[in-house]
Structure 1
Amino acid sequence: MAADVHKKGEAAEMTERSVEPPVRPARTSSVRKTGLIFFPAFDWAISPTHPEREERLLYTRDQIFEEGLMDFPEIVEYRPRLAELKDVARVHFCVPDVQSQVTEAHLIAAGSTLVLADALMNGEIRNGFALVRPPGHHSMRVVHGNRGFCNINNEAIMVEYIRRKYGVRRIAIVDTDVHHGDGTQDIFWHDPDVLFISFHQDGRTLYPGSGFTNEMGGPLALGRTLNVPLPPGTTDEGILYVLENLVLPVLDEFDPQLVFNSAGQDNHYTDPLANMRFTAQGYAKLNEVLAPDMAVLEGGYAIESALPYVNTGIIQAMAGLDYSNVKEPDYVPDRFVLTSDMRRSIEATVNHLLTIWESRDDLVAKARQEHGRFYSRRKRIFYDTDMITEGQEETLRMCTDCPGYLTISTQAARGYGRLNTAFCVSVPLFACRSCIEDAREEYEEHKSEMKYDYVYLQDRPSDKFRAYCTRTRNEIVL
């Protein structure tokens, strides 16, 4: 499904005055390697017994070496590197600053995806799999702390890095984690050039309690977010039905330049945090059919009974190797059956989402009539790891020439203790001149108001991030 990628020379400079429509990358047929990066983050943990710990990758690495996969010419291993603070600020408003919300481990996990992104876009590999932690798909645009085990969103950072450096515009993200990818959804909610599809266990039965079919994207990007809530107990058959009958047809029509997979593996039947019935064979088949350009590890907490087998199957599928013998020790064919009620529910959900997808342009046209020049919404966000409650008011300029610039008023509290307030201005990479100028003006106006503790400008056209502290009157530019 994914577009081919060929070796690019020096990336064309992208100025704020002129952003040319990108040319579709095309990979040469001679490149057959799958790039891998392992980063277990030995020095980072939420707690010593927390399910999100380094063993998630150590058992996988042992399995892969035991199977001799690293000796195959189709597989090449890369070394991780640190992401820069600007790479994070290009995506997130970290309050009060990036350094306070990330550790070195977070920067290496995010930087690992950038290493593989460069290898992909330079034609060294045909696809890649970043086996890294900490995960990231619950991390939203604004960051006050850790939620869902995530501080920063590794895959979103990779997306914006590729768009900025290589001029790629249209990208699809397919999130296969058992938990709804609410952070990734939030980051690309207003972006019509990013298609986000998440299939996950029904949010009425599992964290984070979101990801329903009526969550379709912002008013100028309606239908570019498609959520597939699945019944607990869904098997390989059910998830592969969603892939074949919804994901692939939509990808065909959207025609992305690149396809990425948020590769959560907690749909597995042994995962302790969920209730699904997916197998290693199912995961391998999914990645063979989806054929993502890049996969980035998210969740998956059955450290011994699932992850070594699931990751091995995914790697072999991405590398074009035979994965038919990759099976869990207790694997029994046809052990789990999709009931007729589950099947009807999944079919109805897929049909409903296809209707949304087909009517996406009409939905946007109607939203323009309803909302006028500006669209606003309010949100309450809970950081379950750090016990922080956040309130947001988000306003989008309903521009007719670009995706429109976004402002976010945010305030957070832990218990009864107030944390920080901030006003955030985000200018999309492909913004028009009017939105660029008005967004910068709004940033300057709020700097002088002294209403918030911090004022931020995420100026993607100029690739500058500005953070102003009203107490110290100090401005930092990345």
Structure 2
Amino acid sequence: MLEAKNRLGIIFFPAFDWAISPTHPEREERLLYTQDQLREEGLFDIDGITEHKPDIATHEDVERVHFCLPDVTSVATKSHLISAGGAIKAARLVMEREEEKAFALVRPPGHHAMKFVHGNRGFCNINVEAVMVEHIRAHYGHRRVAIVDTDCHHGDGTQDIYWHDPDTLFISLHQDGRTLYPGTGFPMDLGGPNALGRTINIPLPPHTSDEGFLHVIDHVVRPILDDFKPDLVVNSAGQDNHFTDPITNMNFSARGYALLNEKLNPDIAVLEGGYSIQGALPYVNLGICLAMAGLDSSGVREPDYDPERLRQPQKVTDYIKSLSDRMRELYFNPPRSSLRGDMADGFFVRHKDIFYDTDGISESQVESVMVCDNCPGVLKIESWSSVNPLSVGIEIPITACERCHGKGLQLWEEAQVKGSYRYMQLINRKDGYCRQFGF
């Protein structure tokens, strides 16, 4: 009888009651075929691989991460809370040592959900991984965390949430934003003034195959992780780089995904995108599960896998090698010139325009972070959109120094007196509470 080298917990949640539309790529069948495949392959007959049910994330879990307008109930259904709860269950299994590794096979996904949430963008309402990471920090103590996003689309929401956090390393491998939604995630996007170099974007050209992805893992991701020395590694495990995916242009295989996870060796994986419901997801998820359990995945093959047809062009190989050299240098020596914004009264200020493609919402923001050598800095975001008037969110980070803690409380008091905000929200991680007001 097979025995897993690493005890692996698998959490399933197909979200039967939530879909953008009955025929939309992001629907319940994404996980139902996978569930059938894993059972048919006898995965749960392997000693050390166990299926678990998800928890339900609370509003407090969401409010620890997001400024939701007008409130959590307005932007997150119960399905979203269970999806995030599935990730939280994965974290609990690992943090409490019930399992050595965990894979949350949940939907809806979350990595396009940003700090402020006005609606659904990129099929995402709340950021599942961020809710999980901040649950860990709230309940198990502060941790240095690396999130490696292998979804084909740039994880712009996760990047936005952790742009100013020096204790969270965010690495995104994705199809070049010049060729795919959301059109972001370029090499010089390296993080805010207090966390420069903690965001690493690796935009890969269309038709990148196993060779290119694994080269980046070996020559960029692993060296950076070895330097950062995270307490936890999370794989934001999107699977739409697969050669059969209907909305992307990459040539990654199920075996490639398994090898990537062998090399990456994540503690926790959380499903993101992946829309080849029959041709890819059952095989990719099987490969990832075997890799995380420390078992041989060399026999995982899709029915129409042809390595010669999928071989990446030489010009793609040359480009990826050159890009890899550049990205290592940008991590180890991030230039201050990459910062785009202005200084005002000790704050670094930048302006952002955000489009919610799913819900058709246009949002504008003014984001201000206190420049600080001792902590991530108190954060203030003024936001308004086509569905919500001017509102403000203020965050005091969990590791806030005395100066930033005091400034955050001052900004909160001033916001209440100002009287020009429709909604006001405070995330006070230092003291462990959140506040919301609407007028």
Is TM-score (shorter-chain normalized) higher than 0.5?
A: yes
The structure 1 segments of at least 4 consecutive aligned residues displaced by more than 4 Å after TM superposition are 364-372
User: Could you tell me how far apart the structure 2 residues matched to 1:283 and 1:365 are?
Assistant: 32
**Pairwise CA distance, 1:368:** 12
Matched residue SS, 2:365: strand
How far the C-alpha of 1:333 sits from its partner, in A, is 3.3
Deviation at 1:423, TM superposition (A): 0.7
- Alpha-carbon distance in 1 for matches of 2:337, 2:234: 25
Which secondary structure does the structure 2 equivalent of 1:82 belong to?
coil
SS state at 2:363 partner: strand
Q: Is the 8 A contact 1:220 1:367 kept in 2?
A: no
Structure-1 separation of matches of 2:389 and 2:131 = 24
| 1:284 positional shift | 0.4
> What is the alpha-carbon distance in structure 2 between the residues aligned to residue 272 and residue 348 of structure 1?
29
How many residues get paired?
436
Please state if 1:380 is matched with 2:353.
yes
Alignment of 1:46-65 (within 5 A): 46-65=20-39
Q: Between 340-349 and 194-203, report the one with greater CA deviation.
A: 340-349
Match for 1:335: what amino acid? R
* Secondary structure of the structure 1 residue equivalent to 2:86: helix
The match for 1:175 among 146, 149, 162 is 149
Q: Comparing 432-441 with 36-45, which one deviates more in the overlay?
A: 432-441
Shift of 1:372: 7.2
Shift of 1:419: 2.5
Matched residue SS, 2:159: helix
Provide structure 2 residue ranges, at least 5 long, that are not aligned to the other structure: none
Q: Structure 1 unaligned segments of length 5 or more: list them.
A: 1-29, 472-478
Q: In 2, Cα distance between the equivalents of 1:420 and 1:145?
A: 14
Task: Report deviation, 1:456.
Answer: 0.8
1:461 aligns with 2:434: no
Partners in 1 of 2:367 and 2:45 — Cα distance? 50
Q: CA deviation at 1:164?
A: 1.6
Preserved contact between residue 425 and residue 436 of structure 2 (Cα < 8 Å): yes
Question: 2:374 — aligned with what?
Answer: 401
Secondary structure, aligned partner of 1:310 = helix
What root-mean-square deviation, in Å, do the aligned CA atoms of Structure 1 and Structure 2 show?
1.8
Superposed displacement of residue 371, structure 1: 7.4
Structure 2 match to 1:143? 117
SS in 2 for 1:324: coil
2-structure distance, mates of 1:128, 1:420:
41
CA distance in 1 between counterparts of 2:385 and 2:34 reads 38
Distance 1:449 1:233 in 2: 52
Q: Give, in angstroms, the shift of residue 364 of structure 1.
A: 9.5
C-alpha contact 1:31 1:125 (8 A) present in aligned 2: no
**Aligned 8 A contact 1:96 1:420 in 2:** no
Deviations 1:59-109 (A, max 9, x none): 000000001101111201111121010000000000000111110000000
In structure 1, the partner of 2:6 is 32
Contact 1:113 1:154 in 2 (8 A): yes
TM-superposed deviation, 1:370: 7.3
CA distances 1:441-475 after superposition (whole Å, capped 9, x unpaired): 21121112210101110001122110011x2xxxx
1:35-77 CA-partner distances (Å, limit 9, x unpaired):
1000000000111111000000000000000011011112011
Pairing 1:333–2:302 present: no
355 and 240 in structure 1: CA distance in 2 versus 1, 3 angstrom threshold: same
List aligned pairs for 1:258-269, cutoff 5 A: 258-269=232-243
TM-score (norm 2): 0.96
Amino acid at match of 1:449: K
Matches within 5 A, 1:134-213: 134-213=108-187
Alignment of 1:270 onto 2:244: yes
1:101 aligns with 75
DSSP 3-state at the match of 1:172: strand
8 Å contact from structure 2 (residues 192, 339) kept in 1: no
